[in-house]
Amino acid sequence: MPKITIDTRIKREREQLEKIFAGLDENRRNTAASLIENAAFMAVTLADLRKTITEEGVVSKYQNGENQWGTKKSPEVEVYNTMVKNQTAIIKTLCDMLPAGDAEGDALRAWQKANGRTLR
């Protein structure tokens, strides 16, 4: 079975989100477009980072000079932590664009849950 490319995965995420926002007026859809693109990218990237962190752990070894060794938080963990905060902000902004109590908001929350995150 061929591996799905990152671009294809991002496209699928974007299409799911675009369906949720299809009912918005044109101005709001245009405003949401770049947020949707970034949310899709982040969903795929975060999934990949989670996989790497699960496989390699949360710390990495380093060497400074000849005799100084140690461990530190892995670069993937640092990127993940920053990106998950940014994605949460984007999803909150997108949720705020939807009318309260509508099916699209429920669909967005379902998408978010499927991607391993919850919005508080």
Question: Is the Cβ–Cβ distance between 79 and 52 less than 8 Å?
Answer: no
Question: Is the Cβ–Cβ distance between 73 and 56 less than 8 Å?
Answer: no
State pLDDT tens for residues 11-59: 999 999 999 888 888 998 999 999 999 999 999 999 999 999 999 999 9
Tell whether 20 is covered by a domain. Answer: yes
What the block records as the tokens of 54 is: 């699960």
pTM greater than the 0.75 cutoff:
yes
Task: Indicate the number of domains in the chain.
Answer: 1
Tell whether 38 is covered by a domain. Answer: yes
State pLDDT tens for residues 46-102: 999 999 999 999 998 888 888 888 888 899 999 999 999 999 999 989 988 887 766
Domain hosting residue 37, numbered range: 6-114
Tell whether 119 is covered by a domain. Answer: no
From the list 10, 9, 4, the residue with the least C-alpha distance to 38 is 10
Any residues with CB less than 8 A from the CB of 34 and at least 6 apart, and which? none
